[in-house]
Structure 1
């Protein structure tokens, strides 16, 4: 019987492959790239499935406060740059070591067009070891997917390839493919036209977008769509694209997507990209968050939960529309904000549809896989490789779960929505761990510095110590911390919340008290 692997198990299986990635991104930003900002990308590509190659151009619209001597972009050496235009004139450029240096002409130009092409890098273990995945469906049609979270946009287009950079006015995407193929991509489909034996698809999004979230998938798809009634009151197009062989499964997939979107909205607030769409496309690899067009390759493994159907992969990637796509970090050191908060959203689906018991069973099961080997927050200016590890998911989610236990639902849930809704943190703005922790502290009106420092920046756990004192006394303490935590203690008299720390607290009980019975906190329970 095939096992349904959960997210953490899959991550653990895939980390050996991660170490072999050829490309990385993030780290300290190149000083030359601090001199300009990208306003928009206009990508125009012909996709050639038979050759497993692409060719075309990318226009980079930028703004700079002073004249640039060098406009530095990233583009992998596997592609050949044919020419670079500014103001309609060819300009000098140098392309080596995955860096494209352009020497601007003396003009007031604010855009540059790069013509390039070549064989695409092949993904070895997508999405963890990304690139292009070229497959054939069961009807022997071409089927292409792209994944680039670990590599950045430079594996498919010239870009200012750093997590701190997002085009403030979004992207225009124009793709030419052989008939009868379709290209699913970010944003809204503006036009579809035919030229001879080719089709041209024009997609546009005006929202800022992470480089690795710019995405396109090629295949012969069956589409199903409906209007989603957002909690904002707005109607949003919702659609799924599946292979022709899976046409009969599309209505159920659409229903599962709708349930996941409604659940996320309940806890995180309105869907962040209402002017575009909510959509998934079937891909020849497991999945990945791509703004408004999430990759879905989980083989329709829906499982019953309460009165609804659940697909962990679909729900997780959709959660990134809030954390990762709207709320984006500028330094991969803080990647746990993307993954930990989204993973916690997975647990909330259990709370919403399975009830309290299902939620706490899920929390307990996931927490068992946490090795506590690496801090959740990596060093400043981390690369994606350095920052990406399983604990940003599992321990990151447990930090959020612990916050819920400490603050209580009446504070916790409005706080989550408040963070997502705060204009200081969304869309074109980058966030870091301090932004989140300061917001929580101010919202809750509570000093949580010691809690955050301990659980986010160290690998230690408080050691729970319970000692018998007399006939009806128990001394309870948490060793290894210099602060206190509110902890539930259950005795025959009921449950009370006690501030526990290094100093022992006496509790009267006939039987040994049960400390933190619902496992709100990560403790060493020797």
Structure 2
């Protein structure tokens, strides 16, 4: 009996260990991977539901200025690579430590096919610790979701797995499953083909796409759809895919999605992927921003906001179509641009449908929760694990909120749209924090570098000092900074805006003043 228990413990811990593997990504680019760029992925997978495994191949088309001695890709060791082809010929490779090194044949080949299979890694705490999530719905049908923001594409396909690498010509995705299952994925559904008891779905997008944005979800779904009329004038297919047990909720979800897209377009401009679709799919985990097929697992928790219904999870992940998918970062150090701007878009929903006071109340409640424990911007060449923490959402949004207070609405809202529409930072081109700061300076005609760097790159706060000065005035200063900030001050003469820094500024008022009464700034008082 003791021997049997010991054997079971060994099996248990080996399984737990394989499931708890931490696959981080990002950091410095591998020198071998700097020598080529990926142009296109053509992924063909058979999804074996009963064994929770996948089998197939990925054709990677790439561009290399010089002949490669080694083509280095990333693929976790849990998968077995059976063969690799270049120009139709088998080539040598090694696969260890989650790295697939391919030795090209003597050719100027620009593509490689990797054949592989294996049992999928199980997500421990999706989407934060990702992998595959396998469930059964209430009808005892398979339901699978994939999440990989923290792990990268290597947990489901061979890839150049770095945030700076996006296939600039998009992807073609072929998924084969047993009937009656459906696979929801990125882009447009080009074709579905049935052979016996199997069905293959071909999805494709020609837009660049980040690695963790490539995704697929399996289930037996009910679909609700409509055409969405974008502010661009284009009609875009809009879909929601929900489990059959939730069919009665599909139309409501579609309407909530429609309102959210309209709200995002109001502030950020036209939906970024009009040639594909707008869609969400119900997943067995909370959610994630997968390009044109956002994961949704918030259990239809709609709340009233003005005259509409609001789902914070759906709206947040949708916002990533602009910040995260259209505009993406090549270094996780700047991850706050994905999360901070998207979180700020959530705040704007309050304003659009609840009014300005609702926006200020929400902003104020978030500002109170920020611990100021870590800088919003991480050191250069950060991994995802190093860069990901709560303040890239809350404080990232608060910095954008503060910028609005400094420059005023008449400048801020056009600036916001101009930034997310700038060709230098979108689609094929990526962005970093310094790009944003330089853009703000150029757009506003003000040098706000010190202000933005202070809040983004330190954990310090200006210390507000207010003292009575004479009979009809007050002295106001912000200690701990070596620059000035335009600050609103409520006085007996009305609301004024003064540049305040470490040197006290006299404010005339016969009544007690209120500094930053709307709460634009993060201050220590």
TM-score of the two chains, using structure 1 as the length reference? 0.95
3-state SS of paired residue (1:410): helix
Paired residues of 1:21 and 1:129 also in contact (CA < 8 A): no
Q: Cα distance, 1:473 vs. partner?
A: 2.2
User: Match for residue 240 of structure 1?
Assistant: 240
Post-superposition CA distance 1:166-225 (Å, at most 9, x none): 001000000000110000000000001111111110000000000000000000000011
The Cα of 1:284 is off from its aligned counterpart by: 0.1
Query: How much does 1:127 deviate?
Result: 0.2
Conserved? CA contact 1:77–1:98, under 8 Å: yes
d(CA) in 2 for partners of 1:504, 1:146:
55
Alignment correspondent of 2:435: 435
State the 1:21 CA deviation.
6.0
| Alignment-derived partner of residue 174 in structure 1 | 174
Instruction: Report the Cα distance in structure 2 between the residues aligned to 1:108 and 1:29, rounded to whole angstroms.
Output: 24
Matched, 1:78 2:70: no
Which whole-Å CA distance do the structure 2 matches of 1:483 and 1:345 have between them? 28
1:397 is paired with a residue whose SS is: helix
1:426 equivalent in alignment to 2:426:
yes
Deviation at 1:420, TM superposition (A): 1.2
Matched residue SS, 2:248: helix
2:101 equivalent to 1:101: yes
- Select between 464-473 and 366-375 the one with higher mean Cα deviation: 464-473
Alignment-derived partner of residue 397 in structure 1: 397
Cα drift, residue 438 of structure 1: 0.7
- Residue 446 (structure 1) aligned with residue 443 (structure 2): no
Give the secondary structure class of the aligned counterpart of 1:424. Answer: helix
Aligned position for 1:301: 301
Pairing 1:40–2:36 present: no
2:195 aligned with 1:187: no
The DSSP-based 3-state class of the residue aligned with 1:329 is coil
Bigger mean CA offset, 461-470 vs 341-350: 461-470
Aligned to 2:92: 92
Equivalences for residues 375-414 of structure 1 within 5 A: 375-414=375-414
List gaps (5 residues or longer) in structure 2.
Answer: 1-19
Tell me the CA shift for residue 367 of structure 1: 1.1
1:288 Cα shift? 0.2
Report what 1:228 is aligned to. 228
- Cα distance in 2 between the residues matched to 1:427 and 1:457: 26
Q: What per-residue deviation string (whole Å, max 9, x for no partner) do you get for residues 348-371 of structure 1? A: 000100001110011011111110
Segment of structure 1 superposing worse, 95-104 or 497-506: 497-506
- Partners of 2:269 and 2:499 in 1: CA distance: 32
Unaligned runs of 5+ in 1: 1-19
Q: Alpha-carbon deviations, 1:255-297, whole Å to 9, x = none?
A: 0000000110110000000000000000000000000000000
3-state DSSP of counterpart to 1:132:
strand
Equivalent-residue separation in structure 1 for 2:320 and 2:52 (angstroms): 29
User: Does 1:327 find its partner at 2:319?
Assistant: no
Name the CA distance, whole Å, in 2 between partners of 1:436 and 1:485: 19
Q: Is the 8 A contact 1:186 1:204 kept in 2?
A: yes
Change (3 A) 1:158 1:144: same
Deviation at 1:509, TM superposition (A): 2.6
The answer to whether the Cα contact below 8 Å between 1:375 and 1:457 also exists between their aligned partners in 2 is yes
CA drift of 1:460 comes to 0.3
Distance in 1 separating the partners of 2:109 and 2:470 = 82
SS at match of 2:524: coil
SS in 2 for 1:304: strand
Matched, 1:156 2:178: no
Equivalence for 1:475: 475
Partner residue in 2 for 1:6: none
Distance of 2:107 and 2:480 partners within structure 1:
63
The equivalent of 2:344 in structure 1 is: 344
**CA-to-partner distance for each residue in 1:487-520, whole Å, 9 max, x for gaps?**
1111232111111111111123333211000110
User: Which residue number corresponds to residue 5 of structure 2?
Assistant: none
What's the counterpart of residue 143 of structure 1? 143
Provide the C-alpha distance between the structure 2 equivalents of 1:84 and 1:476, rounded to a whole number of angstroms.
Answer: 69
* Shift in CA distance, 372/196, structure 1 to aligned 2, threshold 3 Å: same
Distance (whole Å) between structure 2 residues aligned to residue 485 and residue 422 of structure 1? 27
2:394 match: secondary structure: helix
SS in structure 1 of the partner of residue 66 of structure 2: coil
Across the two proteins, how many residue pairs are aligned to each other? 506
SS in 1 for 2:447: coil
Superposed structure 1 runs of 4+ greater than 3 Å apart = none
Tell me the secondary structure at the aligned position of residue 424 of structure 2.
coil
Higher deviation after alignment, 511-520 or 298-307? 511-520
Distance in 2 of aligned mates of 1:424 and 1:246: 42
Instruction: Report deviation, 1:44.
Output: 0.2
